[in-house]
Amino acid sequence: MAMQGTPKRKADREDMSEDMFVEDLAEMTTEQLCKRFLPMLPEIKMMVDGALTTLKTQAHDVEALKEQVKNLEGAVEDLKTENTLLHQQANKLNLILSGLPEVNGESACQLQRKVEEEIKAKLKFNITIDTAFRLGKPDRNKPRLVKIKFEKLRDRNWVWDNRKSLGHPLYLNEDLHPLVRANRALLIKEAKTAKESNKTVHINWKTSEITIDSATFVAYNNKLEPKFNQQ
């Protein structure tokens, strides 16, 4: 019975075959080479053409995917904008109050009455509140924020315009979308840094723009970009 060769012997034979093939090619004349390989050219061309077609198809697919990703990114940005606008519309009657002392077992009615009394005492203005409730979990070190919903937009705007009269430790903020709050925090941070360098700073809160000396930037998606890059 014939014995099978070991993997090493098989590899040695393959190396010898490759070496012999190379030696044969080296000894062939141009005419002999042409006779040997010319019949193979149609098949080689067919293989190359097939490979090129595959590459073109894949390249087209990649471009199509890039376009789909671009469209999806645009749709996501549109949804973010729409969500921000819906949040602003839904919360236009709201204000966020900080610094109002909190007691254990405080009921919603007690909190609402306390807010109304504080505003009346500090601003000398009678308002009617729809609801008032604490935000987040209780904290022993500081009172939680209070979200106030006014019954009338006129009352809300009057309180907001006169918020500085509330005095320490009470402070009012608008009920903004988290993304808008992040953009504004970024503007405040950049303004502080610029002022420390003795630069002129102006912030337009409505457009989320900051002008530092003569350069204007826009806070967008919690990033600061030159204004001319915005569509």
Domain with residue 124: its CATH number is 3.30.70.1820
The tens digit of pLDDT for each residue in 78-99 reads 777 677 677 677 788 999 999 9
Kindly give the residue spans of alpha helices, DSSP state H, lying in the chain. 7-27, 30-37, 41-90, 108-123, 153-161, 178-196
Say which amino acid occupies 229: N
- Contacts of 209-214 with C-beta under 8 Å, sequence gap 24+, read none
Say which amino acid occupies 217: F
Q: Are 166 and 172 in contact (CB under 8 A)?
A: yes
Q: How many domains does the chain have?
A: 3
Backbone φ and ψ of 140, nearest 5°: -65, -25
One domain, residues 168 and 182:
no
Whether 4 maps to a domain, the answer reads no
| CA torsion, ordered 162, 164, 170, 172, to nearest 10 deg | 60
Rounded distance, CA 219 to CA 102, Å? 35
Whether 20 maps to a domain, the answer reads no
Rounded distance, CA 36 to CA 3, Å? 36
One domain, residues 135 and 182:
no
Whether 32 maps to a domain, the answer reads no
Whether 15 maps to a domain, the answer reads no
One domain, residues 115 and 165:
yes
**Who wins on pLDDT, 199 or 5?**
199
Rounded distance, CA 219 to CA 181, Å? 11
**Who wins on pLDDT, 24 or 4?**
24
Alpha carbon 202 to its chain centroid, in Å, reads 25
Answer whether residue 128 shows pLDDT above 60.
yes
Cis ω for the linkage preceding 7 (within 30 of 0): no
Say which amino acid occupies 36: R
**Who wins on pLDDT, 223 or 115?**
115
The tens digit of pLDDT for each residue in 33-42 reads 677 777 877 8
pLDDT of residue 170: 94
Question: Model confidence at 64, in pLDDT bands (50, 70, 90)?
Answer: confident
Beta bridge partners of 64: none
Domain that holds residue 59: 37-91
Answer whether residue 176 shows pLDDT above 50.
yes
Whether 210 maps to a domain, the answer reads yes
Alpha carbon 42 to its chain centroid, in Å, reads 53
pLDDT of residue 116: 92
One domain, residues 161 and 113:
yes
One domain, residues 67 and 139:
no
Whether 158 maps to a domain, the answer reads yes
CA nearest 127: which of 165, 156, 100? 156
Q: State the average pLDDT over residues 208-231.
A: 83
Answer whether residue 230 shows pLDDT above 50.
no
One domain, residues 112 and 167:
yes
One domain, residues 133 and 199:
no
One domain, residues 158 and 189:
no
One domain, residues 41 and 64:
yes
One domain, residues 87 and 110:
no
User: What are the angstrom distances between the C-alpha of 9 and each of 3, 4, 74, 176?
Assistant: 12, 10, 62, 77
Give the chain's radius of gyration (CA, Å): 37
Which of 72, 91, 110 is the last residue before a domain boundary? Answer: 91
Whether 3 maps to a domain, the answer reads no
Q: State the average pLDDT over residues 52-56.
A: 85
In the block, tokens 């469209």 appear at 71
One domain, residues 100 and 170:
yes
Whether 128 maps to a domain, the answer reads yes
One domain, residues 169 and 107:
yes
Q: Which residues have a Cβ under 8 Å from the Cβ of 134 and sit 6 or more positions away?
A: 102, 106, 111, 144, 145, 146, 147
